């Protein structure tokens, strides 16, 4: 355990000052449930990694305080946007040093963004840049059409230097683009440093660095940014520590060190907080009552409930990868596409008691949402029906699944969640409880092979890696909005290259008839696959300049997501933060992946 450095602070009580001790007065320590995935800005796509990265690295622009739609200069001192909304021109700040001593140049910016686009790892964040930049879903698909050299030339033309300024030209206007540039995936790295480590050399030969596994990324466990903190050490599964950048281009941070500890067990985190060994802990909703006495006694501060741009959702994989340890079974035989049956997915939805789940797991601080788009965003339809908790309908759907064979032969599905996440465990075990209840009815009818729902946890990095490899059958994951726009909901949940959808294999549903309900100007049409239908509507919506028409397209996408039961238990969360009384300077911006430590101090 980290040793304590004891400091002092004064507390005024009725005019009498009482001296108390502050553990580790210049070190901020936060206890997390799970570990980060990678330190490569272009590779990561989880909140733990992003939290570390946006404290080490910096972007061209940054969010202005609590605003999600206002920005302040960061590594760019100024920017201009053309009248047609397609060309962004940035003036790069001078006199900025990377942690390893290199000078920030406009060439570093161009290299960083080109590298990110060409790396474009599967399941990663770079689709957000690719779509408006090149009107493409992935670099690989583009290279299949244009060749590697053609793609390289296209990327160089879209991101280039003009008279010492960085010019980014989009394929079509996309208003949230500044929000995308403010994300940790657009962090600026030192070109010479990266190349010296064996990363992409800046040439047209980009393929060897395309779509690497996490550990194969040259920047997997090293970091060299311009931000307020520098990487000190990362011990996977235990902690990652950062130290103050004394040569920061702004005033150096007040904190000398930041430590993020990996502590999956709630009881251990609570004991560490009560002992003053940590300043902030992750508090699952199920354990909020344990914090109430500390808050009431002034031994902890609580912020919230705060309106969150975050959701928790269960996802169905329509075709689990061969060799997966979580392979679904029908009648005891491997059935990779078990969950491609719509009746089975609907049964899961009818067997989910959302009201109880929200009340018990989230203390009522969540809203059920019909379709991907959350409340407060264009395209959220408050009248979209949601599956009610109805065991009779769940039974009806189970009897229809796979032509009745799922009911007769029984089946097995493993529901997974990340270790330590008790709310996701609650949802998984609720589905297990209600679906396995039907075994009593089935037994009376002479069907003895069980409906077997198994709940299993996995460490966070393993969990995400297996999700990306399509090895999970039903899995619960949270989504923190990357930028405040409905596209950032329908894309991850429904698009071919979406963070979740790409693991779900929607193309298994074929010959799909589409009859518009809201976007009535669209013709009825049959699509080869469900994925083709989703992709076409998503593409229309993101490019539609008429907001009223765009909203109706998003209404259609929400409706289809519910009708085809692509998810289960999709809810929007409110959020809380608990910290020690001696921690100051935190503010809430829903676009931040986690704690931005530059503004913090203890005293």
pLDDT confidence of 461, banded at 50, 70, 90?
confident
* pTM (two decimals): 0.81
Token pair 């339809």 is at which residue?
A: 381
pLDDT confidence of 142, banded at 50, 70, 90?
very high
Cα angle: 109, vertex 118, 96; to 5 degrees: 15
Q: What is the pLDDT of residues 85-116, one digit of tens each?
A: 999 999 999 999 999 999 999 999 999 999 99
Q: Is the pLDDT of residue 122 over 90?
A: no
Q: Residue 254: its pLDDT value, please?
A: 98
pLDDT confidence of 486, banded at 50, 70, 90?
very high
Q: Residue 98: its pLDDT value, please?
A: 98
- Between the CA of residue 356 and those of 352, 353, 389, what are the distances in Å? 9, 6, 10
Q: Residue 381: its pLDDT value, please?
A: 97
Structure tokens at 26: 């210049």
Q: What is the pLDDT of residues 298-344, one digit of tens each?
A: 999 999 999 888 999 999 999 999 999 999 999 999 999 999 999 99
Q: Is the pLDDT of residue 462 over 90?
A: yes
- Between the CA of residue 377 and those of 51, 220, 337, 555, 592, what are the distances in Å? 24, 34, 34, 12, 18
Q: Residue 410: its pLDDT value, please?
A: 98
Topology classification of domain 51-224: Dipeptide-binding Protein; domain 1 (3.90.76)
Q: Is the pLDDT of residue 121 over 50?
A: yes
> Which backbone phi and psi does 76 adopt, to 5 degrees?
-105, 135
pLDDT confidence of 545, banded at 50, 70, 90?
confident
250-261 average pLDDT score: 98
Topology classification of domain 308-574: Dipeptide-binding Protein; domain 3 (3.10.105)
Residue 550 host element (H or E):
helix 547-563
Q: What percent of the chain has pLDDT over 70?
A: 97
Q: Where are the domains of the chain?
A: 51-224, 308-574
Q: Residue 20: its pLDDT value, please?
A: 53
Q: Residue 328: its pLDDT value, please?
A: 98
Of residues 56 and 499, the one with the higher pLDDT is 56
210-217 average pLDDT score: 93
Q: Residue 286: its pLDDT value, please?
A: 81
Q: What is the pLDDT of residues 259-300, one digit of tens each?
A: 999 999 999 999 999 999 999 999 988 899 999 999 999 999
Q: For residues 181 and 384, give the distance between their C-alpha atoms in angstroms, rounded to a whole number.
A: 32
Q: Is the pLDDT of residue 569 over 70?
A: yes
On whether the CB atoms of residues 135 and 171 are closer than 8 A, the answer is: yes
Q: Is the pLDDT of residue 8 over 60?
A: no
Q: For residues 142 and 123, give the distance between their C-alpha atoms in angstroms, rounded to a whole number.
A: 16
Residue-averaged pLDDT of the chain: 94
Region of poorest pLDDT, from 8-17, 263-272, 388-397, 494-503: 8-17
Q: Is the pLDDT of residue 182 over 50?
A: yes
121-142 average pLDDT score: 91
Structure tokens at 57: 């690295």
Q: Is the pLDDT of residue 372 over 80?
A: yes
Q: Residue 64: its pLDDT value, please?
A: 97
Q: Strands 451-458 and 411-418: what pairing?
A: parallel
pLDDT confidence of 19, banded at 50, 70, 90?
very low
Query: Cis bond leading into 305, ω under 30°?
Result: yes
């Amino acid at each position: 355990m980290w040793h304590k450095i004891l400091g002092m602070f004064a507390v005024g009580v009725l005019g009498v000052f009482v001296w108390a001790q502050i553990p580790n007065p210049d070190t901020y320590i936060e206890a997390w449930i799970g570990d980060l995935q990678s330190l490569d800005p272009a590779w990561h796509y989880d909140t733990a990694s992003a939290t570390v990265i946006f404290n080490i690295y910096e972007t061209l622009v940054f969010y202005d305080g609590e605003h999600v739609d206002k920005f302040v200069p960061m590594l760019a001192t100024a920017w201009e946007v053309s009248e047609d909304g397609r060309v962004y021109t940035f003036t790069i700040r001078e006199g900025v040093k990377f942690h390893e001593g290199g000078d920030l140049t406009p060439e570093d910016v161009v290299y960083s963004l080109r590298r990110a686009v060409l790396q474009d790892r599967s399941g990663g964040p770079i689709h957000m840049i690719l779509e408006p930049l090149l009107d493409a879903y992935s670099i690989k698909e583009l290279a299949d059409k244009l060749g590697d050299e053609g793609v390289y030339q296209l990327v160089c033309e879209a991101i280039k230097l003009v008279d010492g300024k960085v010019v980014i030209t989009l394929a079509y206007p996309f208003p949230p683009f500044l929000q995308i540039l403010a994300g940790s995936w657009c962090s600026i790295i030192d070109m010479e440093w990266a190349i010296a480590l064996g990363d992409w050399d800046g040439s047209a030969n980009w393929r060897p660095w395309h779509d690497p596994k996490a550990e194969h990324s040259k920047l997997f466990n090293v970091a060299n940014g311009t931000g307020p903190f520098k990487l000190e050490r990362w011990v996977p599964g235990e902690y990652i520590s950062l130290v103050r950048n004394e040569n920061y281009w702004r005033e150096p941070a007040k904190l000398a060190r930041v430590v993020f500890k990996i502590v999956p067990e709630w009881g251990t985190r609570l004991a560490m907080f009560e002992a003053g060994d940590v300043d902030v802990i992750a508090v699952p909703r199920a354990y909020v009552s344990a914090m109430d006495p500390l808050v009431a006694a002034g031994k902890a501060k609580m912020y919230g409930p705060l309106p969150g741009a975050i959701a928790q959702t269960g996802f169905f994989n329509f075709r689990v990868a061969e060799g997966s340890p979580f392979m679904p079974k029908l009648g005891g035989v491997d059935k990779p596409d078990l969950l491609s049956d719509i009746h089975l997915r609907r049964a899961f939805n009818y067997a989910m008691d959302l009201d109880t789940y929200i009340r018990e797991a989230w203390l009522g601080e969540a809203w059920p949402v019909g379709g991907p788009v959350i409340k407060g965003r264009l395209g959220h339809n408050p009248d979209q029906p949601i599956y009610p908790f109805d065991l009779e309908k769940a039974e009806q759907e189970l009897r229809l699944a796979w032509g009745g064979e799922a009911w007769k032969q029984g089946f097995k599905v493993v529901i997974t969640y990340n270790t330590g996440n008790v709310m996701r465990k609650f949802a998984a075990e609720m589905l297990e409880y209600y679906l396995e209840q039907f075994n009593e009815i089935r037994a009376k009818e002479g069907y003895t092979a069980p409906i077997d729902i198994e709940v299993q946890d996995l460490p966070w990095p393993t969990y995400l890696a297996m999700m990306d490899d399509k090895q999970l059958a039903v899995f619960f994951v949270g989504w923190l909005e990357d930028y405040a726009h409905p596209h950032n909901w329908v894309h991850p949940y429904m698009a071919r290259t979406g963070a979740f959808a790409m693991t779900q294999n929607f193309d298994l549903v074929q010959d799909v008839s589409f009859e518009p309900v809201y976007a009535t100007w669209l013709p009825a049409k049959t699509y080869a696959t469900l994925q083709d239908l989703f992709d076409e509507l998503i593409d229309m919506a993101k490019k539609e300049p008429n907001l009223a028409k765009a909203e109706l397209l998003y209404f259609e996408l929400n409706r289809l997501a519910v009708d085809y039961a692509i998810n289960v238990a999709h809810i929007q969360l409110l959020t809380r933060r608990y910290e020690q009384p001696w921690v100051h300077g935190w503010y809430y911006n829903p676009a931040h992946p986690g704690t931005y430590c530059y503004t913090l101090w203890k005293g």
